Structure 1
């Protein structure tokens, strides 16, 4: 194909402007006629509507193909390249799961979660408060901080003795997860105890609505109890 012919094809393709409004109007008329007819004659109404819709799509597709072919596959001024649509899996992975149903009191154990008032536009601390009226022979506390942007750990602490717990912090399922596990043979005494996770985050007022914690424990009798709470703004 010589350059003159290529240029003529390109000019003709760019000059072609399908009358979309007229074609859509015809589709709408076809739908109205198909729905109002009591006894269909010929193809069923829904087949006529589908056929008209396919025809419109074909006209638009042919026009776009002609412009692309004439231009050798290159985009020209006045044309907009379509942006890729993110996959469902990619979108879902950026959004942490919902906060599960939690209860703040179970038997001798009570719990509360709150963002520390000393948090700022770049850094925050989430406090988990546990109160037990009986000694606990086992305890696992998990604090989950939703990955809202730039969330990464800067440390953690607890009011109980450090040597009594195994501590970890890791990214998991869209959360920064802190875990404190009481070591075998150790006991949590009666009283009020605090577990805190510290972290950086993207600049601004971070919402803690997706954050939550759980605490699973066992009394000396072996009976297990479980509590948890979220960090919504009403705390």
Structure 2
């Protein structure tokens, strides 16, 4: 049959077709009224042998482990804030201290001398002298070779010691060289054992470096 003719006849049949709306509606109503078809039985899953199932579980666990570890690494390393840069404290000023009992001390009165030698300028300085509370110890004064207006000086009566403290004021500087700090006190008559007397010296340089020197007066004796 000629193709052109076939197409023409199909087109004419389509144009001439008139749907039967009444019949279509009746079929829809019969479909709604009909009981629901029975559910199809669920097909049981096929059985895998134990060896094959074990292999699948192992592969799945391995993949999950790799993915999990990868995610953890990305979170830990990627989201971790950068820590502060490591800094090394600057070394403090070089200094030396010699603790001696002043030669002018006697059987009723003594003076403890701290001879401090600094090699570089010092912008912060605290000198603490602790005279052990032996019998009759009472402060009679103090002095230093640096200008008095450069320091704040305190004398504290603690239960176990008489404490002299010299603190360099802000914006003041101690130049390189020898410096002496002395604490004076009365004591009971006789030879006083100064071995329990101690000192602490804290120095700060212009770059912020800090040094701390500690010691005692050894077996020095009063007169």
Matched, 1:130 2:116: yes
1:7-22 matched pairs, under 5 angstroms: none
Cα deviation, residue 173, structure 1: 3.5
For residues 26-72 of structure 1, give each alpha carbon's deviation from its aligned partner in whole angstroms, at most 9, with x where no partner exists.
xxxxxxxxxxxxxxxxxxxxxxxxxxxxxxxxxxxxxxxxxxxxxxx
For the Cα contact (< 8 Å) 1:168–1:178, is it kept in 2?
yes
For the Cα contact (< 8 Å) 1:124–1:199, is it kept in 2?
yes
Distance 1:221 1:170 in 2: 31
1:28-47 matched pairs, under 5 angstroms: none
Count, aligned residues = 130
For the Cα contact (< 8 Å) 2:108–2:187, is it kept in 1?
yes
Distance 1:124 1:184 in 2: 32
After superposition, the Cα gap between the structure-2 partners of 1:201 and 1:234, relative to the gap in structure 1 and judged at 3 Å, is closer
Matched, 1:155 2:141: yes
For the Cα contact (< 8 Å) 1:112–1:228, is it kept in 2?
no
In structure 1, the partner of 2:197 is 211
Which SS does the other structure have where 2:123 is aligned?
Answer: strand
Structure possessing the higher radius of gyration over alpha carbons: 2
Matched, 1:174 2:198: no
Cα deviation, residue 234, structure 1: 6.5
Matched, 1:225 2:211: yes
Cα deviation, residue 132, structure 1: 0.6
For residues 9-34 of structure 1, give each alpha carbon's deviation from its aligned partner in whole angstroms, at most 9, with x where no partner exists.
xxxxxxxxxxxxxxxxxxxxxxxxxx
Hey, which bits of structure 1, 4+ residues long, moved more than 2 A?
Answer: none
Which SS does the other structure have where 2:136 is aligned?
Answer: coil
Which SS does the other structure have where 1:136 is aligned?
Answer: coil
Q: Provide the TM-score with structure 1 as the length reference.
A: 0.54
